[in-house]
């Protein structure tokens, strides 16, 4: 019986703080406060004025104009502090037979350099936006992830359609772009909530606070339950 844990990245596998997109805009020389182009574009996407891909494309134009290089992107990743207890959590889940995924609206190259190889190796797959660079190393295009916002829900639905029992799926996230997953009925855990209706139990089944990701382990690994299943 396949058991799966799906993780968001920003604010879930990282410590609370600015998200990767905010850092990218700043490293490309822009402000991110009220009235900024960053805010403006994001609000227009949220308000349905254009698609996720168009939001990516328009963001890319600004980042390119700001000479954002591949070196800067991986440096942002390397400087982003991981949540404490990440390695222990992933190792414990893997040892207990869980398949692990990242389904994120962040950026692949940042995720990889942030969590480092000894954590990355535990994931069966990582879904996120993918940056491409020109010959000078400056960002040229972004392949958008199909699995952000509503897409996170769609990812879980695809997993259920592929034969994984919804009772064996856990999603761990922290914010409003994870909320749709709650509609699938799988177990949802909110860690250190940020701009999400964390008290709504139709969205989040459990909420945990703390510096260490290990806090989610007792909610996922239920030894008693697994023994009962064997009889």
For binding to Mg ion (CB under 5 A), which residues are involved? 8, 10-11, 174-175
Q: Which is nearer to Mg ion, 66 or 105 (CB)?
A: 105
Taking the complex as a whole, the smallest distance from the CB of residue 49 to Mg ion amounts, in Å, to: 23
Q: Which is nearer to Mg ion, 21 or 98 (CB)?
A: 21
DSSP string over 14-64? B-SS--HHHHHHHHTT---STT-HHHHHHHHHHTTSS-HHHHHHHHHHHHH
Q: Which is nearer to Mg ion, 56 or 175 (CB)?
A: 175
Taking the complex as a whole, the smallest distance from the CB of residue 173 to Mg ion amounts, in Å, to: 6
Report yes or no: 115 and 122 within 8 Å, Cβ to Cβ: no
Q: Which is nearer to Mg ion, 12 or 184 (CB)?
A: 12
Taking the complex as a whole, the smallest distance from the CB of residue 14 to Mg ion amounts, in Å, to: 8
DSSP string over 79-106? HSPBPBTHHHHHHHHHHTTEEEEEEEEE
Taking the complex as a whole, the smallest distance from the CB of residue 174 to Mg ion amounts, in Å, to: 5
């Amino acid at each position: 019986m396949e058991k799966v844990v799906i993780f968001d990245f920003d604010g879930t596998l990282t410590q609370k703080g600015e998200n990767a997109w905010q850092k990218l805009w700043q490293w490309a020389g822009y402000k991110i406060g009220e009235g900024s182009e960053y805010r403006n574009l994001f609000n227009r996407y949220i308000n349905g004025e254009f698609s996720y891909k168009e939001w990516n494309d328009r963001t890319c134009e600004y980042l390119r104009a700001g000479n954002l290089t591949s070196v800067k992107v991986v440096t942002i990743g390397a400087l982003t502090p991981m949540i404490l207890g990440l390695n222990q959590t992933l190792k414990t889940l893997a040892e207990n037979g869980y398949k692990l995924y990242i389904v994120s609206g962040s950026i692949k190259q940042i995720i990889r350099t942030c969590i480092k190889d000894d954590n990355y190796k535990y994931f069966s797959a990582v879904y996120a936006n993918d940056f491409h660079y020109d010959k000078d190393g400056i960002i040229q295009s972004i392949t958008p992830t199909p699995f952000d916002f509503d897409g996170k829900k769609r990812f879980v639905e695809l997993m259920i359609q592929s034969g994984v029992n919804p009772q064996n799926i856990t999603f761990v996230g922290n914010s409003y772009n994870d909320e749709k997953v709650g509609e699938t009925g799988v177990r949802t855990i909110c860690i250190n909530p940020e701009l999400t209706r964390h008290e709504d139990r139709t969205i989040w089944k459990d909420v945990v606070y703390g510096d260490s990701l290990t806090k989610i382990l007792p909610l996922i690994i239920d030894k008693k339950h697994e023994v009962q299943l064997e009889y």
